[in-house]
Structure 1
Amino acid sequence: MLPTGLPQGTVPRLERPGPLRERVYEALLELITARALEPGRHLVESELAGQLGVSRQPVREALQRLNTEGWVDLRPAQGAFVHEPTQAEADQLLSVRSLLEAEAARLAALNADKAGIDALHEIAGQGRLAVAAHDVTRAVALNAAFHAKIMELAGNAVLAELAAQVDRRVRWHYTPVARLRGGTSWDEHEELIEAIDSRDGQRATRLMREHTEHTRQSYHEQDNS
């Protein structure tokens, strides 16, 4: 069920356009990704329906789809639960992310213009402010925006499409380590910007691989604590 005392605005408002089941699915997926619904939480259809202001049917359909995609576990005679990711799953995801983003960093170093570099600096500056304010939600969103911008600057549509498929899962795994990574992550982002700005594709590739490896290590550290 949804935890009590959710921060204002945590439960997404369901806009009217589009199929209801799709909007319920997106709302629940966002709550799971942001860990407002944390791994292992029991998801009760009636309570979710009440929180979202819908009937139980679209909630049931959304949970079935989330189960198919690996976000939710449906257990016989017990109900639905938010999936609890294993360390092996995290390793596999972050390994794929490392391959995709290392190539994106290399291509960005070849293709980025001044406007793109300025945009990366702006996101990095906002990220540091979010860390200083202990705003984990915003820091996670800005981290995603930073990596998405590098992917955009790479200029490879197929690479961007593949990266988009893992983006939400990366955010899901990154959220619990965002506070642990803190300003260090943004220090690494600044180094990446320097490498991209100087058109040093080899260095950008190496830095991105190291960056994703540091995230993987932090994930395992918090998981074992």
Structure 2
Amino acid sequence: MLSAGLPQGAVPKLERPGPLRERVYEALLELIITRALQPGQHLVETELAGHLGVSRQPVREALQRLNTEGWVDLRPAQGAFVHEPTEDEADQLLVVRALLEAEAARLAAANTSGKGLNRLDELCTAGERAVEADDVDAVVAANAAFHAYVMELAGNAVLSELAAQVERRVRWYYTPIARQRGIQSWNEHRELIIAIAERDEARAQRLMRTHTEHTRTSYHQRERTPG
């Protein structure tokens, strides 16, 4: 059992293909993003290795990489800890996300066909059902899928590449406020779908900018609870 414990079934199964260190890295990163491993939590190599069914070496390598990327803090004589994001770090990321996604919404309104609109509707329905079921993990996944598809509809490869670089961190920040945003977030998604369907580029851009700003504000106003 890890020092602070993990929810039942939270530890992902490692798929065999691919380098072991890469699979361990992806598994630990997913645990951090979903907050199964909480910000500030002590990460003990032997415990992580035991949960993942591997030796300590790939865990050590994964923690070093996660430290380089800012997900983990390695403290001399203390060990590894999940990074605790500052308000300023969150603000900077969410501002960049707003810029990228507002432009994606504008391009989606210019390019989207009926097939794309149908898919947006399906993703929105999935999110609404997840909210109704109070399934936070499903809400976060549906939200990520919806925004990723808007980005796909934009049809700009460079924009998509930049968005992909921030997507995982956005999920990390969104998880603690998913319940707080609730159905309102999906009502905003519905308004965005209408603007895209009407090919109203300016309105789609404005709605997405407002939507992402609501997420940023909610993060800063979130209720803090013990980890």
TM-score bracket for this pair, using the shorter chain length: over 0.9
- How far apart are residue 6 of structure 1 and its match? 1.6
Task: Name the count of aligned residue pairs.
Answer: 224
Counterpart check, 1:75 vs 2:75:
yes
The equivalent of 1:152 in structure 2 is 152
Deviation at 1:224, TM superposition (A): 6.0
Partner in structure 1 of residue 90 of structure 2: 90
Contact kept in structure 1, 2:4 and 2:41, CA below 8 Å: no
State whether residues 2 and 48 of structure 1, in contact with CA within 8 Å, keep that contact through their aligned partners in structure 2: no
Equivalent pair of 2:6/2:36 in contact (CA under 8 Å): no
Q: Distance in 2 between matches of 1:40 and 1:67?
A: 13
Equivalent-residue separation in structure 2 for 1:205 and 1:181 (angstroms): 20
1:158 partner amino acid:
V
1:141 corresponding residue in structure 2? 141
Matched to 2:130, the amino acid is A
Q: What letter matches 2:7 in structure 1? A: L
Amino acid at match of 2:122: E
Deviation track 1:105-148 (CA, whole Å, cap 9, x = no partner) reads 00000000001000000111110100000000000000000000
CA distance in 2, matches of 1:88, 1:176: 17
State the partner residue of 1:6.
7
Residue 116 of structure 1 is matched in structure 2 by 116
- Show structure 1 runs of 4+ deviating over 4 A: none
Aligned to 2:64, what secondary structure does the other structure show? helix
Q: Does 1:209 align with 2:201?
A: no
Contact 2:24 2:59 in 1 (8 A): yes
User: Is the contact made by 1:33 and 1:169 (CA closer than 8 Å) also made in structure 2?
Assistant: yes
C-alpha displacement of 1:220: 0.5
Report the AA paired with residue 203 of structure 1.
Answer: R
Native 8 Å contact 1:12 1:27 kept in 2: yes
CA displacement at 1:75 relative to structure 2: 0.4
- C-alpha distance in structure 2 between counterparts of 1:167 and 1:5, whole Å: 24
Change (3 A) 1:139 1:75: same
Q: What is the TM-score of this pair, normalised by structure 1?
A: 0.97
What is the SS of the residue equivalent to 2:222? helix
Q: Give, in whole Å, the separation in 2 of the partners of 1:187 and 1:210.
A: 12
